[in-house]
Structure formats: C-alpha cells, structure tokens
Amino acid sequence: MAAGRVPAAQTSNATLNAAINSVARLSLSSAALTFPDADPDTVPSIQASQGPITVTAKARTSPNGTVTLTIRAGDQLRSGLNTIPEANITWVATGGGFSNGTLSATTAQAVATWTGSGVHTGTQTFFFRNLWSYATGTYTLTMTYTLSAA
Amino acid sequence: MRRLILLLAFLFLVPSPARAQNLELSLSPAVITFPSSDPDTVPLVSAAPVQVTYRIRSNGNSPWSLTVLAAGDLVAGASRVDISNVTWVATPAPPFQNGTLSKTVAQRVASGNGNVNPNTLGSITFRLANSWTYNTGSYTQTVLFTLSAP
C-alpha cells in the first residue's frame, strides 16, 4: 500500500511589545491677535480681527488621566511706559471641554480640560475692553499656552 | 503456523509508517518592540525586522504555508489596542506576503509548494498604526507562527 502523508507543523512564538508614552501637541490657527482701534462709546468691546482662533489639542494619557490647556499672559499690555491691565482681555470659547475666561499674568487660566487620550478642537474668540482712559499707543503682550497630560 | 502466516500477512497489509515532512522554523528576534512615537510625526511605528529561517523537507510537491495568529489584542492593564492595528511587510515576495494581524483567524505570511532546502530566510517588519486615542502604557501580546505542510 502507498504510504499516507501525516500533516506536519512547526510552531514558534514571538512577543509583541509596544510602548505608548505620554505626549501632547497643540496647534493654533493664528499665533497673533490684533485689536483694531475703535471709539469706546460705539465699540465698548473690540473683537480680535482674526475672529475665532481654532485650538487643536492632542494628548495621550492614562485611561482616566486629566488633560489641561491653560493660558497665561507674560505681562500687562505695554506701549512704552504706558500699560493696560491684561484682565481687559477676555475670551469666549466653543467646543467640548472649553471654557470662557479672562487673561491673567499672575495665574494661568484654564482654557479647557478633558479626561483621557484623544484629539480635541475648539475655538477662542478674544475681546478687548475699550475705555476712554487708555493712553494712545500700540500695545503688545505675549500669551503662553500650556497643554499638559497628567 | 497459521497464526504466523496471519501475522505476517497483517504486517504486510498495514501501511508502512508515513514519512512525515521535516519542518524547521525559527525567528530572530523573538521579541518585537514598537518604540513610543508622536502620532503626527510617526503615524506608522515600525519594529526592527524579524528574520524568519525555515526549511521544508520530504514534502514532495505538496503545498506548505507559514501563518501567524495573535493570542489577543495588545494589552496594558485594562487598556487595549486592537491587534488589527498591527500590520506587516514581508520579503521576499513570493513566497512571503504582507498582511494584518488577527486574533481570530491565522493569517498567511508565506506559502509555496515542495521542499525548501537548505535553510531559507525571510524578513517580516511589523508596523503599528499610531493614534492619539491610545492610552499610555506598556502593551504586550504573543503571536504564534505556524509552519505547516498539510
């Protein structure tokens, strides 16, 4: 009789390891804000010329980890020796996790908070409180965003 | 005497022992590591290539195949990354082919007919689709390679 064939098999195991570490990335649709000059009586609150700024925050964290986006002014608005308190700049936000706020140079203000990993998008529209008491000039300040994943 | 004749007849009628195929398989390295990367800059994370050494003898003109099956998803505590996010690129093609890992159905990595002798090499590079949605952690899983000649 003819010999039959016996199914044969040889196996070998391998182990897959993947390191997923914490990482965060923030992008803004505009890195500059401009408030045009206006009559305080007719425009008491000046909206930034750029309109809503789109904020995209990406972060990887633990399953219940907190992701926080804050903003802090570097100083008051300054024009030579003249100053305007940074608290005269406020924002209105849209998007899940985002909140409205007022700029501060002493304490970082929360822009948004989320739980867990993911990509989040929202907008901030900035407003400048327009007053007759301001000295004329071209004022500037720098704001710093910080995205952190705990 | 009659018993002896019957015994000899039985021995001649029983099929001679089937000659099983001789299969050899080894992997190096047996630990496949995906480093952590920013999903925006490295959307597809590659591990170091795995060298597959295989040899098939006494297989006549019969088909053979090399398959891989994952024991489950990538797991880090309570967090999981679906194993279908792991794909591979294999050379030379043929007999090797590219594919996607599965935890339910063994996926073909290579196939052919007849013998492969002497030892022959293939290379498999596994790749992990990177995502912002993954929870942080050290993920692991076992995959089983099977070289068979049915």
Instruction: Kindly write down the DSSP assignment for every residue of A31-100, as one continuous string.
Output: S--------TTT-SEEEPTT-SEEEEEEEE--TT-EEEEEEEESSSEEETTEEE-GGGEEEEEESTTB--
Nearest to B146 among A11, A118, A119 (CB): A11
CATH code of the domain in which A119 resides = 2.60.40
Mean pLDDT value across residues A117-121: 97
Q: Containing domain of residue A88, as a range? A: 23-149
Widest CA span in chain B: 85
Chain B residue numbers with beta carbons less than 8 Å from the beta carbon of A62 are 135-137
State whether B142 and A16 contact (CB < 8 Å). yes
DSSP B32: E
Whether residue A17 lies inside any domain: the answer is: no
State whether A16 and B32 contact (CB < 8 Å). yes
Mean pLDDT value across residues B111-134: 96
Whether residue A12 lies inside any domain: the answer is: no
- pLDDT confidence of residue B150: 76
Mean pLDDT value across residues A110-129: 98
Closest CA to A145 of A100, A97, A112: A112
pLDDT band at B21, cuts 50/70/90? confident
Mean pLDDT value across residues A87-114: 98
- pLDDT confidence of residue A3: 45
- Please name the residue of chain A whose CA is at the shortest distance from the CA of residue B150: A7
Chain A residue numbers with beta carbons less than 8 Å from the beta carbon of B147 are 9-12
- pLDDT confidence of residue A150: 81
pLDDT, chain A, mean: 95
Closest CA to A126 of A96, A87, A97, A95: A87
Closest CA to B34 of B56, B53, B50: B50
**Interface contacts A/B by beta carbons within 8 Å:** 152
Mean pLDDT value across residues A22-50: 97
State whether A63 and B135 contact (CB < 8 Å). yes
Weakest mean pLDDT among A7-16, A68-77, B13-22: B13-22
Chain A residue numbers with beta carbons less than 8 Å from the beta carbon of B23 are 8-10
State whether A18 and B135 contact (CB < 8 Å). no
pLDDT, chain B, mean: 90
DSSP B12: H
Which of A120 and B5 is assigned the larger pLDDT? A120
Most A CBs within 10 Å, among B22, B85, B135, B146, to test the A interface: B135
Whether residue A13 lies inside any domain: the answer is: no
- Please name the residue of chain B whose CA is at the shortest distance from the CA of residue A3: B18
| Tokens standing for residue A54 | 């789109």
Q: Is the peptide bond before B49 cis (omega within 30 degrees of 0)?
A: no
Whether residue A95 lies inside any domain: the answer is: yes
Q: Which residues contact B86 (CB under 8 A, 6 or more apart)?
A: A16, B70, B74, B100, B101, B126, B127, B128, B129
Q: Is the pLDDT of residue B16 over 50?
A: no
Gap from A15 CA to chain B (nearest CA, Å): 5
Q: What are phi and psi of A88, to 5 degrees?
A: -80, 0
Closest CA to B87 of B138, B136, B21, B43: B43
Q: Is the pLDDT of residue A45 over 60?
A: yes
Whether residue A111 lies inside any domain: the answer is: yes
Are B16 and A3 spatial neighbours (Cβ–Cβ below 8 Å)? Answer: yes
Closest CA to A74 of A35, A104, A32: A104
Interface pTM, i.e. ipTM: 0.85
Q: Is the pLDDT of residue B99 over 80?
A: yes
Whether residue A5 lies inside any domain: the answer is: no
Gap from A24 CA to chain B (nearest CA, Å): 8
Q: What distances in angstroms separate CA B145 from CA A10, B69, B72, B121, one per listed residue?
A: 8, 7, 14, 15
CA distance A11 to B25: 7
> How are beta strands B79-81 and B31-34 bridged, if at all?
unpaired
Torsion of CA B4, B5, B7, B13, to 10 degrees: 160
Nearest to A9 among B18, B143, B148 (CB): B148
Nearest to A3 among B18, B132, B150 (CB): B18
State whether A62 and B135 contact (CB < 8 Å). yes
B100 has a chain A CB within 8 A of its CB: no
Q: Is the pLDDT of residue B9 over 80?
A: no
Whether residue A61 lies inside any domain: the answer is: yes
Number of domains in chain A: 1
- pLDDT confidence of residue A14: 97
Whether residue A16 lies inside any domain: the answer is: no
